[in-house]
Amino acid sequence: MAKRLLLVTGGILVFLSIATVAICQIDRKVKDDLYAQIELYSYALTTIQADYVEEKTPQDLIYGSLRGMLSSLDPHSQFLDPDEYKELKTETQGKFGGLGIEISIRDGLLTIITPLEDTPAWRAGIKAGDHIVKIEDELTRDLTLDDAVKKLRGKPGTEVKITVLREGADKLIDFTIVREIIQIQDVKNTQILQDHIGYIRLAEFREDSATAFRKALEDLTQQGADSLILDLRNNPGGLLNVAINITEEFLAQGKTVVSTRGRRLSQNTITRSTNKSHLVSWPMVVLINEGSASGSEILAGALQDNKRAIILGTKSFGKGSVQSVIPLPDGSGLRLTTSKYFTPSGRSIHGIGIEPDIVVELQLPPEDAEDEKEKKVEEIFEGVENQDAPDPEKLKQDGKEAQIRERLLGDNQVQSAISVLKGIKVYANFAQGTLAPVTDAATDAGADVQPAEAVPQK
């Protein structure tokens, strides 16, 4: 018993020594209150250690209390033990095991921000906005975000069953998905669609995304592009500095990219473009949807507020809080929400999202839409595991550039973006006097109307 109390006391002393450092930085009244609360905490810790039915180490209790403390703040703050802290670093390098989904907690529900393209979840038919209500038949109601991630991840090749609540479905839908090593290809489908309109799909912001994005812009320039569709649909975010670096490609030096506001002055920042010679000044349309979150919302908001691009699609997710990763002495860490993002005009992103300049709902091709109407929920259940999964060989064929272009040209949101950019070009030529308008007077007089002089393409 004496040895056990000694261990507890040692754990408490370590905890108190860390707390004392923090207390020294606050005023007297707050100090007194905090000391009283720490005394309560230490009493509870000692009691649990001495009387709980099973023996627990001081580290078990301290780690458990830290998890509870962080999870009580908001869905994005969490305590990371040493293994989880190492894993967090792995996530930002583009390779990890799992299903290929980005998740958050919204209105108390475990919500899928987006399934990443070409991953098990994406191939199984998981959609942005689906709510995971069960993992392996266990309700997610009381799970923290950290707990949910742990349950969803596992050894590659193993299965996990998830049950989702989908808007518009009258029953829950079960998915059994095989875990894989997830390798992120962040810059995709770079090509000219038509009329010198370039297209880039940016799936996520990872360590090498900015370099890959610049290369994609250079490729489009060499192919003669003079305008751009930047597709951020289902882009869940990633590294903030990378999102900022990519945004700077389109903003002149000194233009505001994003600001953050927190409780402390040091957390209030304004980030401005440092790009002295931005690469492109093309007309742009940025595509967003409910799966666009965090870094993609920062990029879209910056281009929108700086009048640099037209935002088209549907309202974004609304994940606009800043998490700072703070290492602790034993190799563990805190992922703590320290501030919130604001667009250059001062609009808050968190819980609100980015409203597009032009709202265009995604429409399924007519034949697909009709099929979906005729499908009963029971049929979806039957096909969800195997029958409805895309054939691997077909997926390979879909990767061919010509087929990707054909698919994109059948995407009504992409088509709307193309129409907008064509309209901008026509208006620009008209304003410069290179496109002759047809006047009512000329038409009424029966005059010969000559076609507009061809404008050389860049």
Catalytically annotated residue among 42, 104, 294, 321: 294
Cβ contact 344:309 at 8 Å: no
Residue 168: C-alpha distances to residues 106, 361, 376 (Å): 18, 16, 12
Structure tokens belonging to residue 437: 């308008």
Cβ contact 294:76 at 8 Å: no
Q: What DSSP character marks residue 31? A: H
Cβ contact 203:150 at 8 Å: no
- What pLDDT is recorded for position 176? 96
Q: How far apart are CA 248 and CA 227, in angstroms?
A: 17
Q: How far apart are CA 298 and CA 319, in angstroms?
A: 10
pLDDT tens figures, 391-444: 434 434 444 455 566 677 778 999 999 999 999 988 877 766 655 544 443 333
- What pLDDT is recorded for position 87? 76
Q: What are phi and psi of 199, to 5 degrees?
A: -135, 130
For tokens 């077909």, what's the residue? 394
Catalytically annotated residue among 305, 332, 339, 416: 305
Closest CA to 70 of 84, 80, 60, 59: 80
Q: How far apart are CA 436 and CA 452, in angstroms?
A: 6
pLDDT tens figures, 78-133: 999 998 888 776 665 555 678 999 898 888 889 998 888 788 999 999 998 999 99
Q: Would you call 348 a catalytic residue per the annotation?
A: no
Angle at 71 between CA 66 and CA 74, to 5 degrees: 140
Catalytically annotated residue among 118, 319, 339, 416: 319
- The list of the chain residues with pLDDT below 50 reads 1-10, 12-14, 16, 367-400, 437-458
Q: How far apart are CA 98 and CA 150, in angstroms?
A: 10
Q: How far apart are CA 140 and CA 152, in angstroms?
A: 11
Q: Would you call 294 a catalytic residue per the annotation?
A: yes
Structure tokens belonging to residue 265: 């002055």
Structure tokens belonging to residue 211: 């370099």
The CA-based dihedral angle spanning residues 63, 67, 70, 74, taken in that order and rounded to the nearest 10 degrees: 170
Q: Please count the helices (runs of H) and the strands (runs of E) in the chain.
A: 15, 19
Domains and CATH numbers, the chain: 2-56 (no CATH), 187-322+341-362+411-418 (3.90.226.10)
- What pLDDT is recorded for position 207? 86
Q: How far apart are CA 235 and CA 238, in angstroms?
A: 9
Q: Would you call 319 a catalytic residue per the annotation?
A: yes
- What pLDDT is recorded for position 378? 37
Strand partners, 341: 260
Angle 58-71/2-23 helices, nearest 10 degrees?
A: 40
Longest Cα–Cα distance in the chain: 109
